[in-house]
Structure 1
Amino acid sequence: MRITQGTFSFLPELTDEQITRQIDYCLAHGWAIGIEYTDDPHPRNTYWEMFGNPMFDLRDAAGAMLELADCRKRFAQHYIRLTAFDSTHGTESVVLSFIVNRPSREPGFRLVRTEAPGRTIRYGIESYAVQARPEGERY
Structure 2
Amino acid sequence: MSEIQDYPSRLSDPASRKFGTFSYLPPMTPEEIRAQVAYIVARGWNPAIEHSEPEHATGHYWYMWKLPMFGETDVDAILAECDTCRRANPGHHVRLVGYDNVKQSKGAEMVVFRAGTE
Match in the other structure for 1:49 = 63
Note the 1:116-135 alignment, pairs <5 A: none
Find the partner of 1:63 among 77, 97, 105: 77
CA shift at 1:49, angstroms? 0.4
Residues 57-92 of structure 1 show CA distances to partners (whole Å, capped at 9, x for unaligned) of 11111110110110111112111111110001xx10
2:18 maps to 1:4: yes
Instruction: Specify the alignment match of 2:106 in structure 1.
Output: 94
The equivalent position to 1:27 in structure 2, one of 41, 56, 64, is 41
Q: Normalized against structure 1, the TM-score is what? A: 0.68
Alignment partner of 1:79 is 2:93: yes
Matched residue type, 2:28: L
Aligned-pair RMSD on alpha carbons?
Answer: 1.4
The separation in 2 between residues aligned to 1:8 and 1:41, in whole angstroms, is: 15
Instruction: Structure 1: state its 5+ residue gaps.
Output: 106-139
- Relative to its length, the structure with more helix (as a share) is 2
After the TM superposition, list the runs of 4 or more consecutive aligned residues in structure 1 that deviate by more than 3 angstroms: none
Per the alignment, in what secondary structure is the counterpart of residue 71 of structure 1?
Answer: helix
Aligned residues: 101
Q: Report the identity percentage.
A: 33
3-state SS of the aligned residue for 1:8? helix
Query: So what's the TM-score if we normalise by structure 2?
Result: 0.79
Q: 1:51, 1:16 → 2: CA distance?
A: 20
User: Are the aligned partners of 1:13 and 1:100 in contact in 2 as well (CA < 8 Å)?
Assistant: no
Task: Please identify the structure whose Cα radius of gyration is greater.
Answer: 1
CA distance in 2 between partners of 1:61 and 1:19 (Å): 10
One-letter amino acid of the structure 1 residue matched with residue 83 of structure 2: A
Equivalent position SS for 1:50? strand
**1:15 is matched by which residue type in structure 2?**
T
- Per the TM alignment, residue 56 of structure 1 is displaced from its structure 2 partner at its CA by 1.3
Larger strand fraction of residues: 1
